[in-house]
């Protein structure tokens, strides 16, 4: 999105200018209490978010820095003076920081999804679907232009990332199923689950039996409604405490 790319580019302009001078970097650290603006992330996308979030967190310190005598002194060369004025104007612009806050509000929930699923030691397939839904809801709560953001996310999700298996594991995740948040009436969930069953079991009679068993599972009938099942739910995803890790985004 052009407005997001433009804001990120302006943020990079600030960090690039600061890190091109050792004196200015040291000056910055005196205001940020030796904290860096740039840190490596797990992906390029996460790195950009971390940079924007870091700029926002230190916005007050950066404003104080660029109106200091040291800022003028360290940037008082033909090569840096004109650029220093532009960077200072950007740092002192409330309009710019409003855009940074908006970009962070868009990116943070999506980075949380990346961080949640980018691991090898914990099962994440059963929560991808729910994670994406909750990321979108978080964006809706904090961004006025959320409908436009959703269009971009949905375009990428449905055309490149979404699979029937995501919908099936979402529905069959007992933690989500029995928390009351799982929606089987969604066309994509119902269709995805049936497609997975058909792929695993080509026999039509067996498919019918599977659908009937799924109804027993969803309605918590038979053994699914027992006390031991309720007690076992928190341990149904070994090593992954879903409720505290992501549901409360």
Collect contacts of 19-25 with beta carbons under 8 A, ≥24 apart. Answer: 21/74, 21/75, 21/80, 23/74, 24/71, 24/74, 24/75
* pLDDT for the residue numbered 181: 66
The CA radius of gyration of the chain, in Å to the nearest whole number, is: 24
Distance CA(114)–CA(68), nearest Å, equals: 39
Torsion sign (Cα): 177, 181, 184, 190: negative
Sequence-ordered list of residues with C-beta below 8 angstroms from that of 104, at least 6 positions apart, any chain: 49, 52, 53, 56
> CB–CB of 240/246 below 8 Å?
no
* pLDDT for the residue numbered 8: 94
* pLDDT for the residue numbered 15: 94
The two tokens of residue 9 are 């580019």
Distance CA(103)–CA(149), nearest Å, equals: 11
Distance CA(97)–CA(2), nearest Å, equals: 17
Give mean pLDDT in consecutive 10-residue pieces for the chain, a chain of 249 residues: 93 95 95 86 73 94 96 93 96 97 93 79 75 90 93 87 84 78 70 91 91 85 79 62 47
Q: Would you list the domain boundaries of the chain?
A: 2-102, 119-247
Distance CA(110)–CA(19), nearest Å, equals: 28
pLDDT by residue (tens digit) across 96-114? Answer: 999 999 999 999 999 888 8
């Amino acid at each position: 999105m052009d407005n997001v790319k433009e804001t990120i580019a302006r943020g990079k302009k600030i960090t690039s200018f600061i890190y091109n001078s050792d004196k200015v970097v040291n000056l910055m650290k005196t205001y940020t209490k030796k904290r860096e603006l740039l840190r490596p992330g797990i992906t390029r996308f996460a790195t950009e978010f971390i940079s924007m979030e870091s700029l926002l967190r230190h916005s007050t310190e950066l404003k104080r820095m660029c109106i200091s005598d040291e800022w003028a002194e360290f940037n008082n060369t033909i090569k840096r003076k004109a650029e220093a004025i532009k960077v200072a104007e950007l740092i002192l612009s409330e309009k710019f920081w409003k855009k940074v806050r908006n970009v962070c509000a868009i990116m943070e929930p999506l980075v949380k999804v990346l961080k949640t699923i980018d691991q090898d030691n914990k099962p994440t397939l059963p929560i991808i679907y729910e994670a994406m839904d909750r990321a979108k809801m978080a964006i809706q709560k904090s961004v006025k232009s959320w409908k436009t953001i959703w269009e971009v996310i949905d375009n990428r999700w449905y055309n490149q990332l979404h699979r029937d298996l995501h919908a099936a594991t979402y529905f069959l995740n007992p933690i989500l199923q029995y928390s009351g948040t799982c929606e089987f009436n969604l066309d994509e969930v119902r269709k995805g689950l049936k497609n997975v069953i058909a792929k695993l079991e080509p026999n039509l009679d067996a498919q019918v039996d599977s659908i009937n068993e799924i109804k027993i599972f969803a309605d918590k009938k038979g053994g699914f409604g027992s006390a031991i099942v309720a007690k076992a739910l928190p341990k149904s995803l070994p090593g992954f405490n879903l409720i505290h890790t992501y549901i409360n985004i």
